Amino acid sequence: MSGDRSRTDALDAEVSESGKRSGGATRNERRVSTHENGNGGVDLGEVDGGCVFNLEAELQQSTLMCTRTRYRFSTCMFLLHLYKKGHRVLNPTFASAMKERLEMPRASSRTSDATMIYPLLPRYCHGTLVEPLLWDEVTPDVILEPIMAWKDASMGASESKISAYRSALCLLFRDFNQMQKWQSLSPTISTIINGWKKQVARRKKEFGVDVERGVSGLPFKLYGVLCKQLASKEQSGPFAWCYATLLWNLVCRSDNISYINLNHIKVKADHLLVYFAQSKTDQEGKLSRYPRALYANPLNPWVCAITSLGIFLACVTTRVDEGDGRMPLFQGSQQESSMRFRKAMHKALEDMNLEEFGLEGDMLGTHSFRKGASTYVSSGGTACPSSSAISLRAGWSQPGVEDTYRRYDSAGDEHVGRVVTGLPMHAEELALLPPTFVPQSSEDEAFIHQCVHQCMDVAKVNVGVARMCLASIIYHLEELKRCLPPNHKLWTDCVITNDDLCTRLKKLVFCGYDDDSEAQRMRLHSTGVPPHCSLLRSLSQVRDEVQRLLPGVEREIGKLPKVIQDALDEAVEMGKIEGAPLTTANLERTMTRILEASGVNNLRDLLTPPSQNEVTIEATQERTLAHYGLRSFVQLRRDFHVPNMTLRKAWHHWTRGDVSTHGRPWRLIQPNEVGDNSSRERLKRYRKMMLAIEGEIPTNIWKENGTFEDYEGMFDEVKSKFNFVPESSLKRRHGELSWDTILRLKYKQHRSAR
């Protein structure tokens, strides 16, 4: 099934090209014309001579276009089978049209027969298209015959392929208003297919064929190794790492990740909320108001979705797509994002030893994350969340009346969200709060706010989301510095590369439990925590307190044997104890005095921890020349080199500098200060790009010594003038293009204009 889907990803492009050469109808010519009205609704336009509302077209649009594309591919395979067999149920007129299209010139040698006949089937409304079959002649054997020709290994067609094939033909019958005919054939077809499934299962049992079909689930251990491998990639790392962690933590399909919008990511208490406006099992969007809880993993940055999301947002400049106001998390079409991640994943798997996990590269795909995450969260321990909460998060229907009576509630989904992050479900660490900024004063709050704005484009990203993401990055910064390559995109950020800023931010980050004093001061509370974690936390606190007091208790009790032995020796030798006759009363009085002197009688007071006075430490701030608006001249490092970064990041360095120049703006750096020839030429290109931006800024808003907000406003004023149309492979991904690529496109546009 995954192979069919990968073939259909690029099918529309090939069909569009062949349709243009053959004069066939395009999508725009067939669909109903619509436009948005002033109230945000949709008005139906006129189609072919004044039809205000096309009921048939609206019924056709009830099936998603991506679903219809995959179904049309299966339908084309079915019709090609009938055509090659010369079957009598194929409409002669349609067969002639198929023959004509199959004889046409093809876009490339890889263009398949299915692609050539693709335009003959309806996209939305069939209109005057020729009906492909003689419906009265169709019988169950006609429908089932192609399945026997599609061999998968030695066990016949796979179950998923049969289901997709049956759904595709059902859509074909519906498109041509033949549902009554399909309903008459469906019972017989279902009975025969169920019989085939039993035969396949029996043959597997008898011949020992592998019972697992489709892609395998991704084990959690392999998931962690894969995430670290993806994160270490210099170019595709931020995108692929973020995509992988979201795919695992949200237990969803790849399509849902590709369509995530920045407006659909919110922050709540100690976690993020991600909304899905539509999914495969919720086509009408009835469940879109129920979000998925996304938690951090403070113990392992490589599987932490909050950390990977923050690094992606810090490395990639987000923007609003022209014309429609959308703010997608991953720019480009759904197919582009999905295929881009699939390529990065398989490339990373090639560099790994999968034999130790009992897997092979072709056994894993994007759906392996969904299988692996659902398996881990439901069977990864003996204290797993409820099956209903898991099914609701994964978008699965529940059996019987459970769908009616077991509905979504935030607590169940939050429990799933905590477990799926990889936090130990049998330990108190499951209740850990995420790394959070805890300012001690209004000055600290202003400092954090400024750093968040400099690191991420908070005009597009929710401020609370950006704040939580930056806190996770700062918390894991030492591990990231140790493992990420020097040329990683993260090291082009002005905040992350400034040691002074990061050191101060690190002091303001808290990560612990909600019963810690700092958490209670900030009123932080852990959500989605099962009751056994609270008990384990209490036992852990008792254990720590006992271990703290145990040396003192042992020291005091250790004094007892010698004191008691001396008193008993005196009593035996002298017949007296402390000068008094040796009686029971005198012996009891002497022992009581010895115990009181050793403090054992006050053991309860000894075990009571002493009160601790809270000490408020005033945050001190180091005064530097930059604090007073001055900059000292610092000689450039020998290895100074302008790295690849987005245009916005390049502008940050041009106006604000970075830690390598001690805050000296790069616009003050002259080429003769750079010793290496290649670095000097690259600096010249960089200056040309930045001077081009300065040249577009109106004189009335330019400030020589502006603030960060001033320079951001200048850039936003002119950024639209540098949105050049790149190659097709990079189309609609302007926010990820480097300054060097934009400069090259600018020269290319200038030459073409001449």
pLDDT tens per residue across span 11-32: 444 444 444 444 443 333 333 3
Q: Read off the pLDDT of each residue in 364-383 and give the average, rounded to a whole number.
A: 90
Six-digit token pair at 176? 């041509």
Q: What percent of the chain has pLDDT over 70?
A: 74
Tell whether 496 and 380 lie within a shared domain: no
From 522, 548, 571, give the residue that closes a domain: 522
Q: Indicate whether 600 belongs to any domain.
A: yes
pLDDT at 296: 96
- In this model, does residue 584 exceed pLDDT 80? no
As a whole number, the mean pLDDT across the chain is 78
pLDDT at 327: 81
Q: What whole-number distance in Å separates Cα of residue 311 and Cα of residue 713? A: 23
Q: Indicate whether 571 belongs to any domain.
A: yes
Q: Read off the pLDDT of each residue in 170-199 and give the average, rounded to a whole number.
A: 86
Q: Which of 129-138, 372-381, 595-604 has the lowest mean pLDDT?
A: 595-604
Q: What whole-number distance in Å separates Cα of residue 328 and Cα of residue 334? A: 10
From 607, 627, 656, give the residue that closes a domain: 607
Tell whether 342 and 241 lie within a shared domain: yes
Q: Rounded to 5 degrees, what are φ and ψ at 576?
A: -130, 160
pLDDT at 469: 95
pLDDT at 1: 42
- In this model, does residue 626 exceed pLDDT 50? no
pLDDT at 56: 53
Six-digit token pair at 531? 């009751």
Residue identified by tokens 């990511």 is 265
**8 Å CB contact between 196 and 190:** no
Tell whether 564 and 693 lie within a shared domain: no
Highest mean pLDDT among 12-21, 48-57, 362-371, 589-598: 362-371
Tell whether 401 and 472 lie within a shared domain: no
Q: Indicate whether 615 belongs to any domain.
A: no
Q: Indicate whether 12 belongs to any domain.
A: yes
SS3 assignment for 160-210: HHHHHHHHHHHHHHHHCCCHHHHHHHHHHHHHHHHHHHHHHHHHHHHHCCC
Q: Indicate whether 252 belongs to any domain.
A: yes
Non-local CB neighbours of 248 within 8 Å, separated by 6+ positions? 218, 223, 303, 305, 369, 372, 373, 420
pLDDT at 147: 74
Tell whether 518 and 561 lie within a shared domain: no
Of 309, 307, 311, 301, nearest in space to 234 by CA:
311
pLDDT at 219: 92
Tell whether 444 and 543 lie within a shared domain: no
Q: What whole-number distance in Å separates Cα of residue 445 and Cα of residue 618? A: 14
CB neighbours (10 Å) of residue 141?
10
Q: Read off the pLDDT of each residue in 52-75 and give the average, rounded to a whole number.
A: 64
Q: Indicate whether 627 belongs to any domain.
A: no
Q: Which residues are bridge partners to 266 per DSSP?
A: 273
CATH label of the domain that carries residue 288: 1.10.443.10
Q: What percent of the chain has pLDDT over 90?
A: 25
Query: Over the stretch 409-431, which tens digit does the pLDDT of each residue have?
Result: 889 999 999 999 999 999 999 99
DSSP structure string for 628-687: GT-----PPPTT------BHHHHHHHHHH--GGGTT--GGG--GGG--SHHHHHHHHHHH
Tell whether 572 and 462 lie within a shared domain: no
**8 Å CB contact between 384 and 265:** no
What angle do the packed helices 334-350 and 2-9 form, to 10 degrees? Answer: 130
Question: 374: part of which helix (H) or strand (E)?
Answer: helix 367-379
Tell whether 535 and 470 lie within a shared domain: no
Tell whether 189 and 235 lie within a shared domain: no
Dihedral angle of Cα 421, 422, 424, 425, to the nearest 10 degrees: 60
Query: Over the stretch 88-135, which tens digit does the pLDDT of each residue have?
Result: 889 898 889 888 888 888 888 778 888 888 888 865 544 446 788 899
Q: Indicate whether 626 belongs to any domain.
A: no
Task: Give me the domain span that covers residue 674.
Answer: 639-753
Q: Indicate whether 449 belongs to any domain.
A: yes
Non-local CB neighbours of 96 within 8 Å, separated by 6+ positions? none
What angle do the packed helices 367-379 and 387-394 form, to 10 degrees? Answer: 170
Work out how many domains the chain is built from and give that number: 5
Q: Which of 113-117, 260-264, 450-454, 522-526 has the lowest mean pLDDT?
A: 113-117
Tell whether 165 and 300 lie within a shared domain: no
pLDDT at 413: 93
From 370, 391, 425, give the residue that closes a domain: 425
Tell whether 561 and 666 lie within a shared domain: no
Q: What whole-number distance in Å separates Cα of residue 136 and Cα of residue 391? A: 42
pLDDT at 639: 81
Tell whether 441 and 312 lie within a shared domain: no
**8 Å CB contact between 104 and 3:** no
